[in-house]
Amino acid sequence: GAVVSQHPSRVICKSGTSVKIECRSLDFQATTMFWYRQFPKKSLMLMATSNEGSKATYEQGVEKDKFLINHASLTLSTLTVTSAHPEDSSFYICSAPSAGGWDEQFFGPGTRLTVL
């Protein structure tokens, strides 16, 4: 099946700094990617839809200026957590739909962000 990678897998940063997380589709093109946030023992919360060549679409309650998304190419989307604070610590997961769109999505392995 198709592969989605994320980098880094784990990051620890100081409060106030910015962190960039990359999501890559390795063997297929993805005009759309999704960013999720998962809290401990909780479900995935969709943060935003990343669209290649246009602005991301954010879900209600997600701060656009806090979580910057850039879909630079058909295989790369980045999520930048700006001025990170401890409450931003979480597990961030990206996904991309299969080529047809109506089959499964392919999920990245996730990035564990810890803000000190």
Positions 5 through 34 that interact with other proteins (CB under 8 A): 6, 32, 34
User: What are the two backbone dihedrals, phi and then psi, of residue 87, each rounded to the nearest 5 degrees?
Assistant: -70, -10
* Beta pairing partners, 58: 48
| Alpha-carbon gap, residue 6 to 87, rounded angstroms | 21
CB under 8 A: which stretch of 11-19, 61-69, 74-82, 89-97 binds other proteins? 89-97
CB of 40 to other proteins, least distance (A): 11
Sign of the Cα torsion 56, 48, 34, 91 reads: positive
Site for other proteins (CB under 8 A): how many residues?
Answer: 26
| Alpha-carbon gap, residue 26 to 82, rounded angstroms | 26
Residue 112 makes contact with other proteins by CB under 8 A: yes
By the criterion CB under 8 A, which residues form the site for other proteins? 1, 4, 6, 32, 34, 41-44, 46, 49, 91, 93, 95, 97, 101-110, 112
